[in-house]
Structure 1
Amino acid sequence: MDRIMAAITYNHICELGSLSAAARSLGISRPMVSRYLDEMEKWAGSRLIHRSTRRLTITPAGEKTLEKTRQLALLSQGIEGETTRITPSGTLRIACAHFTATHLLGAIIPSFLNRYPALRIEVDINNHPVSLVGARIDLAIRITNEPEPGAIARYLGTCQSIVCASPGYLKRVGVPMTPEDLVQHNCLYYSHFSGQSWRFRDKEKGDISVAVSGNFSAGISSLLCDMAAADVGLAMVPEIEARAGLESGRLIQVLPQLEPQPLSIYGLYQSRDHQHAALSLFLDAIKQHLE
């Protein structure tokens, strides 16, 4: 049996706290994880983990062995990286929202796969954050100013937004001239945000926050754009999402003197020690595209 893989599996068991979690993270069966653990204990000549129905406990011998297996995994990764860094292979699993898949990944993935034909990419589109470990995700792309704790977050760029509405809606209800005017309007917003407020940057007044309300919400910015173009109300959406509607005249930007608070784009991943060989290359491609 591959002792290096046994060492990597042992590291995952210790870091994640269970054989099942290690199996999900590595993409192998739980019986196989158990076999690798048995192999590690034979190799070490000692029991490394006390197993019970409720929890796993690392023995003193297991702690010493863990230090060595971590070094072995890093050494193995360094040797493997000399070739896989040039020609990454296997499957890179990415999680992101619908907007990110459409406007960001769709522009990057074709050339990336052409460059690395031995690589396979799976994209899990979900507008709610998913567990990197539980869903076996190598990389999650988040557009937020508060990336969730517990993962490594690499800043990639900025997402700029605008407020817009249709000519028909503005003719019927009127054009808001100040942030305070927004309380008189039907504001369409993202459904997964708690406590609806739109934030702006004003050169004279500084940061401004306005509580808004409306009769429609959605977790997809393209649908908010469609509703705004259909005379339903005002929407704050990424500028790139509204661009086609602005160019065609179906949408008009309002409050152009104010800058909606930009959102940061992050790449989130679980560990620097066991990351996919293509991960850093793909993050570099996203950052270069955004720049």
Structure 2
Amino acid sequence: MLPYMAAFAVVVETGSFIDASEKLGVSASAVSRQISKLERMLSLRLIERSTRHLKVNADGVKVYYHCKELLRFSSRVFDLKDELGQPQGLIKIAAPKMMNGTLNQLMPEFLRRFPEINVQFIFDGGQGEFISDGVDLSIKITDSPPLGLVARKLFNVDFTVCATPEYINFYGVPSHPSELAGHSCIAIADKSGGKQWEFANEYEKVEVMVSGRYCSNDIEAVLKATLNNLGIACLPSAATESDLSMGRLITVLPNWKYVGSSQGMAWLLYKPNKHGSQRLKVLVDYLIENFYGVGC
């Protein structure tokens, strides 16, 4: 009976026996016979036929929805290959561009562990939005993860304002965020700008518009520009840790906390119906395990 139901669903969706036959790979007469057999088994007429047209009647519409639902559930048997044995298949990940370096650092080991999994990254300049149904996993930096998705914590993203000793010796060190307006600042900027920095301490909150001769939406590019004495930058703390410890950079405004965009908790997000995917499960577990030691 299942083949008849499948044929009926395709006929309804294509609107003709000929188009359905091309999609099913059988003759139009064979499709017509399958529909007739289904009608006899149900003791119902589902389609009103004429020489040129066919029309699904009210009973046919009801049967069609049940056929589609049954076929949808039956198709899940093919997902079992992803849950049994070696995880396999493609995983598409949407992530903020600022996490490019860290994710590329982590992926070689993951791909060695799971040789039948392929990974495709889609990096954007913002928050790693869920781009489409084709995206399996999204990484988003926010204090409020969106409803309707499974949300797993990765790490907290903090920023450090810094510059080279050479820049500070020549231009001086700002003692208040408002003084950044008089400095050359290197912004992590995409199409939306990124040149308004916000700071807070226990007494006040300050917004300042910064400017400079160089900006980029790439973290590594901003870091290199900072190391080349082009100005003061506000970078993810993990990106500056090594250079700060080696003295190549020094912290600016240490008594102020950057509270602007792209800071907060980084979350792994995926749709609830994806929880059964073995390939997605092993990647989520791997990222949660390894991000604590790497950061971004």
TM band (smaller chain):
0.5 to 0.7
Q: 1:235 to 1:64 in 2, by over 3 A?
A: same
Instruction: Quote the Cα distance in structure 2 between the aligned partners of 1:286 and 1:164.
Output: 28
Q: How much does 1:252 deviate?
A: 0.9
**Residues 92 and 276 in structure 1, CA contact (< 8 A), matched pair in contact too:** no
Q: How much does 1:75 deviate?
A: 6.6
| 2:249 maps to which of 227, 239, 251 | 251
Query: The residue matched to 1:83 in structure 2 has which SS?
Result: coil
**Residues 187 and 212 in structure 1, CA contact (< 8 A), matched pair in contact too:** no
Q: 1:105 to 1:201 in 2, by over 3 A?
A: farther
TM-score if structure 2 supplies the norm length?
0.66
What does residue 286 of structure 2 align with? 285
1:211 aligns with 2:212: no
Query: The residue matched to 2:278 in structure 1 has which SS?
Result: coil
Post-superposition Cα deviations, 1:71-97, rounded to whole Å, max 9, x if no partner, equal 4456764x545415xx20122233434
Query: The residue matched to 1:88 in structure 2 has which SS?
Result: coil
What does residue 114 of structure 1 align with? 112
Q: How much does 1:189 deviate?
A: 1.4
What does residue 96 of structure 1 align with? 95
Query: The residue matched to 1:177 in structure 2 has which SS?
Result: coil
Q: 1:81 to 1:217 in 2, by over 3 A?
A: same
**Residues 132 and 270 in structure 1, CA contact (< 8 A), matched pair in contact too:** no
Give the counterpart letter for 2:227 in structure 1.
A
Q: How much does 1:253 deviate?
A: 1.0
Structure 2 unaligned residues grouped into runs of 5+: 15-19, 40-45, 48-60
Query: The residue matched to 2:115 in structure 1 has which SS?
Result: coil
Query: The residue matched to 1:223 in structure 2 has which SS?
Result: helix
What does residue 191 of structure 1 align with? 189
How many residues align? The count is 247
What does residue 23 of structure 1 align with? none
What does residue 84 of structure 2 align with? 83
Identity of aligned residues (%): 23
Give the counterpart letter for 1:284 in structure 2.
D
Q: How much does 1:279 deviate?
A: 1.2
Instruction: Quote the Cα distance in structure 2 between the aligned partners of 1:103 and 1:63.
Output: 46
**Residues 222 and 233 in structure 2, CA contact (< 8 A), matched pair in contact too:** yes
Instruction: Quote the Cα distance in structure 1 between the aligned partners of 2:137 and 2:236.
Output: 22
Q: 1:35 to 1:226 in 2, by over 3 A?
A: farther
Give the counterpart letter for 1:245 in structure 2.
D
What does residue 137 of structure 2 align with? 139
| 1:156 maps to which of 154, 159, 164 | 154
Structure 1 unaligned residues grouped into runs of 5+: 11-17, 20-30, 48-58
Instruction: Quote the Cα distance in structure 2 between the aligned partners of 1:243 and 1:72.
Output: 52
Q: How much does 1:229 deviate?
A: 1.8
Query: The residue matched to 1:278 in structure 2 has which SS?
Result: helix
Give the counterpart letter for 1:133 in structure 2.
S
Instruction: Quote the Cα distance in structure 1 between the aligned partners of 2:147 and 2:211.
Output: 31
**Bigger-Rg structure (1/2):** 2
Give the counterpart letter for 1:236 in structure 2.
C
Q: How much does 1:271 deviate?
A: 5.7
Instruction: Quote the Cα distance in structure 2 between the aligned partners of 1:44 and 1:185.
Output: 78
Q: 1:67 to 1:227 in 2, by over 3 A?
A: same
Q: 1:279 to 1:209 in 2, by over 3 A?
A: farther
What does residue 228 of structure 1 align with? 226
Root-mean-square deviation (Å): 4.1
Give the counterpart letter for 1:171 in structure 2.
N
